[in-house]
Amino acid sequence: MPLPTGLSQRNGVWQLRIGVPADLHHLYPGVDAYRGSLRTRDRSEAVTKAHALHAQYRLAFDQQRAAEAVRRAPPVVPLTPELETYLTAEAQWLPLVFDDVVRFTPGAVEALTPGTRFLSAGSPGPLLTGDDPVKWDRLQQHALDEAKTDLALGRLGRIQRAADLALQGLGVRIDWTDAKARLALARIGRAKVRAYRQALERGQGEPHDTPAQPAPPVVAGALAPEEPAKGRTLADVLQAWQEGKKPDAINKTKRALALLKAAGITSPIQALTRQDGLAFRDHINTTMAGTSGKTRSDVLASVQALLNFAVKEKAWLDANPWAGTAIAKGRAQKREPWDRETLTKLLHSPFVEDRRVDLVAQYWLPLLALMTGARQAELCQLRVDDVIQRDGVWLLDINENGEDKSVKSAAGERWVAIHSKLIELGFIKHVEAMRTAGESLVFPGILTAKSRSASLYFSDWFRERCQALGIYQRYRDFHALRTTVGTALRAVDPPLGEALITAVMGHEAGNVGAANYHRPAPKTLQRVIEALDFPAVLALQ
């Protein structure tokens, strides 16, 4: 049985997301009406809670739509003689002009009345097809009989709906519960009967003319028609899209828009063409020729995401003009593993003062990456409260709880044991020193800016350090330390098991068993991490 929409598992605990319907986006600060933990690991309980919350929010959405309908409803105005005259004339004009189109336009019968069957007494006739005037007259007779029956029985609902449709174009409403208004509806209904009778008599050769289309009257207090929004740019779309998005995603999209501007493409979204998309693709390929296909593809995809948002979520566009425009990613280049010699040079060479990364972060971050397998961004954003002790084991609690913190995926939220060598070298003492000093971050000495994360500044520093040491290779970067850890863990004998390695590394599980693998016990996590025995680290004093 499929799970309710938005229900997923994170570290064994069920989570639920309920999105905001597109027509109610203006009432919410973000794209989710509900997002949170259901506080259970039991699937059945999670499904029950999810269905209950979905029902609760469906009711809330319906109530909000009703309130919006009342708020946006046109004003109620008195039924003046001018309004009644207009509605009566409209009721007479519509059946006759429709009859004109059908009788004198080849193929109009099929185009305007597809699949219609005659509903007169007796067996239903065949489908209304071709340009058969006899069949059209039979349909007109049915319409006349129906309108006469409504009047005879005092049924005014069909007439009222037609009148409301005409009033909608004027931006007003009428209170049809008023006795005088209902008598006016009866008069409008009689005018419609006369129009149907004249349309039917045309089939017998009677030369009834179609009256001129009535001019709508000016009604005091009418709701002005809403002007269609024009001139929105991708910057406007970004403003709406970025609600609830992570800082890294927002900054990545802003960089893509800056490149778009550099390409000279600044038109409003309604004026963007497929040729603009192809020109931007060529600009990316030219200016970023030295980067991978995936990097270039991601830039184009960031702008594509904004256009899709404008179509699907905001209805500012009918379709994405750049749909199908893409950049081939090519085969991803595998990262080079760090060998014993290069690791020794990296970890045992003296450090140099740098304004972007202080000496403490220079020392600890490569060690942590090599002895935990954690990602660069996960380590740069570590807080002192993320270093915890459970069952006598020191752990890194990698999470996105807090401002400007994020993980790559749901599987990224995890515990990782801290290797005994790191504790011996003084890592826990460093954390406690930061806590005593009132620092919230484990590594506050990494430069950061509003538009640039600490992780990016550290990445620049690490690349330059490797270049200065003569050990730089394009695909042997900081992330390759994590790759080296994964390789080492899979080489442990006896094997640790892929589920355990996946849990420690924070990878998305590749099979059902691994996906349902709950958070391992601290002692188990410690056993996995203690299997790492890189000589370059163990030799440090």
176/261 same-domain check: no
Residue 229: other Cβ atoms inside 10 A: 12
In a domain? residue 261? yes
491/359 same-domain check: yes
66/91 same-domain check: no
In a domain? residue 239? yes
pTM of full prediction above 0.75:
no
Q: Which domain holds residue 306?
A: 234-312
Closest residue by Cα to residue 283 from 253, 263, 255, 297: 263
Residue ending a domain, among 187, 202, 217, is: 202
Q: d(Cα 186, Cα 173) in Å, to the nearest integer?
A: 17
In a domain? residue 438? yes
87/49 same-domain check: no
451/516 same-domain check: yes
Q: d(Cα 425, Cα 347) in Å, to the nearest integer?
A: 13
Q: d(Cα 506, Cα 511) in Å, to the nearest integer?
A: 14
Domain total of the chain: 4
Q: Per residue of the chain (541 residues), give pLDDT as tens.
A: 578 888 888 878 889 989 888 777 777 766 778 888 898 988 899 999 999 999 999 988 888 888 777 666 778 888 999 999 999 999 999 999 888 877 777 665 555 554 444 444 444 444 344 456 777 788 788 889 999 999 999 999 999 999 988 888 888 889 999 999 999 999 999 999 999 999 989 888 899 999 999 998 888 766 555 444 457 889 989 988 988 787 778 888 998 998 898 888 988 998 888 888 888 988 898 888 777 788 888 899 999 999 988 888 888 888 888 987 888 776 555 677 888 999 999 999 999 999 999 999 999 999 999 999 888 888 988 999 999 999 999 999 888 776 666 666 666 688 999 999 999 999 999 999 999 999 989 999 998 877 778 888 898 999 999 999 999 887 788 888 888 888 888 888 888 888 888 888 886 554 434 444 457 889 999 999 999 999 999 999 8
Helix, strand, or coil here: 473?
A: strand
Q: Which two three-digit tokens encode residue 268?
A: 């409003």
Phi and psi at residue 380, to the nearest 5°: -65, -30
356/444 same-domain check: yes
393/516 same-domain check: yes
347/402 same-domain check: yes
Q: d(Cα 189, Cα 176) in Å, to the nearest integer?
A: 14
Closest residue by Cα to residue 338 from 124, 71, 135, 532: 532
Phi and psi at residue 506, to the nearest 5°: 75, 30
Q: d(Cα 509, Cα 535) in Å, to the nearest integer?
A: 30
Q: d(Cα 341, Cα 296) in Å, to the nearest integer?
A: 34
50/163 same-domain check: no
86/39 same-domain check: no
189/114 same-domain check: yes
CA 439 to chain centre: 36
